[in-house]
Amino acid sequence: MSVQNKLHLWHLLNHILAFVGIAYLLVTPEYWWLVIAYLMFFLSGLIGVNIGLHRYLSHKSFVTGRKRDIFLKYLSMLSGLGSPVVWVAMHRHHHATSDTDNDIQAPDNIGILRAWFLNYNQANFRPSTVRDIMRCNHNRFIHKNYFKILIFFYIILGCISPLLTIFLLAVPAVLSFHGAAALGVLTHQWGYRLYETKDKSYNNVLASILSLGEGWHNYHHAYPGDYKHGQCWFEFDPAAILIDKFFKI
């Protein structure tokens, strides 16, 4: 089975578990589980994906220490969006082909529904796309054992309590999924532009809310090497604040 199909099945499993969690809260209003889920989304989505996979590994927009490097790579796994090798390859391909006929993620090419559910066309990436990522032993280990490690976490937490698996892992992964979907669709369809780029990238407030601050996409496509995406006073960019405070050296 291809990596893409495995990821589709993994996303489906997380959505099923999330619906089970919602049903549980409807009959047993223990809403504090939602607070726990959102805090985990903050860790896995904001720190693991937005900072780790996106601004650090994909764009090399800042330098961090070795322990923080390892922390970001392993934390990113909890989002369920793929190993660092897969995620970086897809994202770099998107920037290189943004909104052209070769962009396998563009809503104009594959449709909004397919783009939202991350059902992209197959693409063959040149090894040079992720050569720098593959030099790291941790990235290679995560890529080779990605689903094994995640299944291990799910089973261990499930043995303690199924609610831990649902609200610590599945629900945050679903939030990360739809945050990524919003970036792939909304920021290439609607919003406002402050910079002239060769693609259809927009700054989109709703996408930024869903993705915890990644929706200032027009600026990002204009200056992909800058880890500070929010430029206007209202463009809240929590990832840039955390990078300044805790990660950049």
Would the pTM count as exceeding 0.85?
Answer: yes
- Supply 167's token pair: 């609200």
Q: Give strand ranges (E) for 9-167.
A: none
Please tell me the predicted confidence (pLDDT) of residue 127. Answer: 82
pLDDT tens digits, residue range 164-199? 999 999 999 999 999 999 999 999 999 999 999 999
Token digits for 149? 């490690």
**Every domain of the chain and the residues it spans:** 3-247
Q: What angle do CA 226, 135, 47 make, to 5 degrees?
A: 40
pLDDT at 1 over 80: no
- Contacts of range 10-13, beta carbons closer than 8 Å, 24 or more positions apart: 10/80, 10/147, 10/150, 11/80, 11/117, 11/118, 11/173, 11/177, 13/170
CB atoms within 10 A of CB 9: 12
> Residue 132's pLDDT is what?
95
Residue type, 138: H
